[in-house]
Amino acid sequence: MANAKSLPEADKVFAPVRAFNQLTLDNAAKLVQMNFDVARRYTDIALANAREFVEIKDAEALQAYVAKQPEAMKSFADTARADAEAAVKLSVSYFEAAGKLVSDSASDATKAAAKKAA
């Protein structure tokens, strides 16, 4: 049966788990938001391109549209690269923070074990 002394010890044991779960949830929320932003950005790009295509009425407009496509593709590639870099930064940040949590937890556990042994 749990007593008043065991509850603070249990809280100490589960604190790193709660911290890791909170970190993971925060990261997941950022990742979901990033995915929504990326989807919106790519949708806006695709719709703008489709609207331009639909508005083509003659050969000159078609020629102008086709001439713009290399620049449009470069712009899209730049956007995709920036989005990929942002995703990598988010992942690196998450793994660094998770590593610090694990390291701190291991250090605390080692100190507690040394204290108990003394």
Confidence of residue 84 (pLDDT cuts 50, 70, 90): very high
Q: Is the pTM of this model over 0.85?
A: no
* pLDDT at residue number 4: 54
* pLDDT at residue number 2: 54
- Which DSSP string corresponds to 72-109? HHHHHHHHHHHHHHHHHHHHHHHHHHHHHHHHHHHHHH
Q: Where are the domains of the chain?
A: 58-107
45-61 confidence digits (pLDDT tens): 999 999 999 999 999 99
- 4-35 exposure pattern, b = at least 16 Cβ within 10 A, e = fewer: eeeeeeeeeeeebeebeeebeeebeeeeeeee
How distant, in Å, are the alpha carbons of 14, 27, 78, 85, 99 from that of 22? 12, 8, 33, 24, 14
62-80 confidence digits (pLDDT tens): 999 999 999 999 999 999 9
